């Protein structure tokens, strides 16, 4: 079994080796750019780790891993247009560095490239892999649609939010694992267990993201604290606060959220965070992260594999839910 570092190195090599220096440069340079910005490479690593549970032959899994990373970066390219994001991983987004048309078309080319990479697979279970990929890709689009719709709705429930992050974030982690498992030769039960592991890990991952935005340590957290509060994002913390704050606290929350995000930014952020703490939203969020992390661990047990084989995935899930950035 390969170490986490070895798998990550394989992914980075594969990205470089896929030769993006193609014509027309105007179409492919933005693709090379966005893929070179790094990121945690979580999805391709999960594909390789899942496959590696069952076999040492990772050649097919590496192609699928690359397809999943290209797909993930395609969603970033298009989401960044929709969200009008100006930076990504500290660099200008494609639609800012080039323009919107380039970001649309290079994104389209990336989605097609993901399928071209998948089509290099030699596994006899190719159709299973393609089915998982298709379902996952469709669900990720649905998740982004719900996310956009939630911005304009004032009645989003916590359940709706959990379903949205399941679609937008968790299914791609789960699909990456399941695809690796299928390629590696997993049984249907094992492939499902890894998928469920991914869903729970993905939910924990996103909730931790929400948590860090308000309660992260600025020393480690890459972005400014309170971004979600300023833009009124209906994240887990905010939706929980609206569900739990009653009477005076509810009034306080509404007054804080009515503050102007430009002129009263600090007052708004510190006030909301204080309120979160007073009604223990921080604790509630960490409990949920722990809950989904524990559920993820249970899924791993269903694989029927020796404990030491599961350690890398366990550690990986733990590191995502305990991360500080």
Positions in 123-142 near its own copies (CB under 8 A) = 126-127, 130-131, 134-135, 137-138, 141-142
**Is 84 strand, coil or helix?**
coil
Q: Which long-range contacts (CB under 8 A, 24 or more apart) does 261-270 make?
A: 261/230, 261/231, 261/232, 265/226, 265/230, 268/226, 268/229, 268/230, 269/225, 269/226, 269/229, 269/230
Among 6, 57, 86, 149, binds its own copies (CB under 8 A): 149
**Is 153 near its own copies (CB under 8 A)?**
no
26-85 residues near its own copies, rule: CB under 8 A: 26-27, 78, 81-82
> Per rule CB under 8 A, is residue 244 in the interface with its own copies?
no
Taking the least distance from each CB to its own copies, the nearer of 115 and 221 is 115
- Positive or negative CA dihedral for 272, 273, 279, 282? positive
What is the Cα–Cα distance from 140 to 123, expressed in whole angstroms?
Answer: 25
Q: Which two tokens stand for residue 234?
A: 């209906």
Sequence-ordered list of residues with C-beta below 8 angstroms from that of 36, at least 6 positions apart, any chain? 15
At closest approach, how far in Å is the CB of 64 from its own copies?
A: 15
Residue 220 DSSP code: T
- Is the Cβ of residue 110 or residue 273 nearer to its own copies in the bound state? 110
Nearer to its own copies, 122 or 307 (CB): 122
Q: Residues touching its own copies: how many (CB under 8 A)?
A: 35
Interaction of residue 104 with its own copies, rule CB under 8 A: yes
Q: How far apart are the first and last CA of the chain?
A: 28
Report, in Å, the least distance between residue 124 CB and its own copies: 11
**Which residues sit at the interface with its own copies, rule CB under 8 A?**
23-24, 26-27, 78, 81-82, 100-101, 104-105, 107-109, 111-113, 115-116, 119, 126-127, 130-131, 134-135, 137-138, 141-142, 144-146, 148-149
């Amino acid at each position: 079994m390969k170490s986490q570092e070895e798998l990550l190195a394989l992914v980075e090599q594969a990205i470089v080796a896929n030769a993006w220096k193609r014509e027309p440069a105007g179409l492919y340079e933005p693709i090379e750019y966005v893929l070179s910005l790094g990121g945690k490479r979580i999805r391709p690593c999960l594909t390789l780790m899942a496959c590696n549970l069952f076999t040492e032959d990772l050649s097919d899994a590496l192609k699928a891993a690359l397809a999943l990373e290209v797909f993930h970066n395609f969603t970033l390219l298009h989401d960044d247009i929709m969200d009008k994001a100006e930076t990504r991983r500290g660099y200008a987004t494609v639609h800012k560095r080039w323009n919107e048309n380039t970001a649309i078309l290079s994104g389209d080319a990336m989605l097609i490239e993901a399928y071209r990479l998948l089509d290099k697979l030699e596994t006899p279970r190719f159709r299973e892999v393609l089915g998982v990929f298709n379902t996952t890709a469709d669900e990720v689009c649905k998740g982004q649609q719900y996310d956009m719709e939630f911005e304009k709705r004032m009645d989003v429930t916590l359940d709706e939010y959990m379903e949205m992050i399941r679609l937008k974030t968790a299914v791609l982690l789960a699909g990456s694992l399941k695809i690796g498992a299928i390629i590696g030769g997993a049984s249907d039960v094992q492939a499902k267990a890894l998928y469920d592991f991914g869903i729970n890990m993905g939910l924990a991952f996103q909730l931790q993201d929400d948590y860090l935005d308000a309660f992260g340590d600025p020393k480690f957290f890459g972005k400014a604290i309170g971004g979600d509060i300023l833009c009124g994002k209906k994240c887990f913390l905010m939706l929980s606060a609206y569900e739990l704050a009653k009477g005076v606290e509810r009034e306080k929350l509404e007054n804080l959220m009515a503050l102007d995000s430009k002129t009263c930014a600090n007052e708004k952020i510190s006030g909301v965070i204080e309120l979160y703490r007073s009604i223990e939203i921080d604790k509630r969020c960490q409990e949920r992260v722990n809950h989904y992390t524990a559920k993820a661990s249970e899924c791993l047990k269903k694989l029927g594999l020796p404990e030491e084989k599961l350690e890398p995935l366990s550690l990986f899930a733990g590191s995502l839910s305990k991360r500080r950035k």
